[in-house]
Structure 1
Amino acid sequence: MKKIILSVIVAFCSIFTVNAQDENVITNTEVSYGVKAGYNSFVARASADGNSVSVDESGFYFGIFADFAVSDKFNIQPELQYVVITGDGDNGNVLVVPILGKYAVSEKFNLLAGPQLDYVLDDDAEGLKRLGVGLALGLAFDINENFIIDLRYSLGISNRLDIDDDDFGDQDVKVKFNYVQVGLGYRF
């Protein structure tokens, strides 16, 4: 598990170190970096044959991001977040990597959309797949040149249940993770 986490961090950090050293490859690319933190709501939803049940827990997140200008209206914003989920006296820890397209509706207002990976860091995640894929959608508002507020929803796409289908007979059982985040970011 430590090798996977280290690999994700190294890969993500290499994205952050990309700059315009080779003008033949990257020309006129604006890149900004920042940190963010905020509230996180986690929803685990289990469904089987038309019936579903959800568990909602809250917590917080903090992380880093980069913002690569692709055009006047479109940026790519990869992030690396550490999410803490608290509930029933226990904490859950998740590493979240959204890679968002950011479309500028106006000078200060942006729409966000893109894939999101999440990796459960806890050793007691028995019966669950650690790695999941989701689709993140959100809004971001630039308060000023440095401060950003954003609101995001991530819909889990992949089934996180890691149990043989034979255990449930002919029922189609799925577990998906969804996230809602409200955060404040600081761009350097």
Structure 2
Amino acid sequence: MTNFKVLGSVLFFLLSFSIDDTSAQSEKSTYFGFKGGLNHSDIVGVNNFNEYTGYLGYELYAAFFADTKINDRWHFQNELLFSWTDEYHFIEVPLHIKYKVFEKWFLFVGPKLDFLLDNSNDGGYFEAYYRFQNFGVSVDTGIQYYFGSRFLAEGRFSRGFSPHVNDLLLDIYEGKRNTYRLGLGVIF
């Protein structure tokens, strides 16, 4: 239940930060959209011999985002992103600072909060050997290209800082979840 309280507090903060008074400006300073694409998870940990080990997985991701223009070059973008690894579902909250490099190209970087939605141990065989932590912290970086005013393409990388996985069957301990993503988005 405490994960839902933390997630609710984060969502309240993000929504209150994204809503601004646009009546003083002739140009819309905050816009919203959806994005989604291919998610490649790379779990990196150590085995019983303290050697690096891990596994790879391919999934899809989807996100709702708000992008707030700070000035001509800088933007703040926050997201509510859904992804999964195997049977586990994540809500991720990236907070990006974006910099306009060229006319349609942006670079972004920022922290990402990872919340595991379904870390219940229901006594099943799979659950007894495969554990995720309920909360993790990552750093997210990437590039975006805008097609006109309504569409975008992005590539991004997220590096996990906090251990997220202990898998006794695969001999992975203190595994950190890194992700590589390619996606498309629409702005409304």
Aligned to 2:29: 30
Deviation (angstroms), 1:10: 3.9
Q: Which structure 1 residue ranges, 4+ long, deviate > 6 Å from structure 2?
A: 26-29
Deviation at 1:11, TM superposition (A): 3.9
The answer on 1:157 being equivalent to 2:161 is: yes
Long gaps (5+) in structure 2: 122-129, 167-172
Q: Partner amino acid for 2:135?
A: L
Report how many residues are paired. 171
3-state SS of the aligned residue for 2:14? helix
Contact 1:20 1:27 in 2 (8 A): no
* Residue identity in the other structure for 1:56: L
The answer to whether 1:20 aligns with 2:16 is no
Whole-Å separation in 1 of the counterparts to 2:157 and 2:8: 26
Q: Aligned match of 2:140 in 136, 140, 148?
A: 136
Query: What secondary structure sits across from 1:107 in the alignment?
Result: coil
Q: CA deviation at 1:29?
A: 7.2
Give the alignment's TM-score, normalised by structure 1.
0.79
> Which TM-score applies when normalising by structure 2?
0.79
Deviation for aligned residue 1:41: 1.0
CA contact (8 A) 1:45 1:176 kept: yes
Distance 2:98 2:61 in 1: 20
Deviations 1:1-55 (A, max 9, x none): 3444444444433344x111696xx998711111111111111111267621111
For the structure 1 residues 27 and 133, does the alpha-carbon distance in structure 2 shift closer, same or farther, using more than 3 Å as the test? farther
Q: Any idea what SS the aligned residue of 2:132 has?
A: coil
The residue that corresponds to 1:70 in the other structure is 70
Residue 125 (structure 2) aligns with: none
Aligned residue identity for 1:20: D
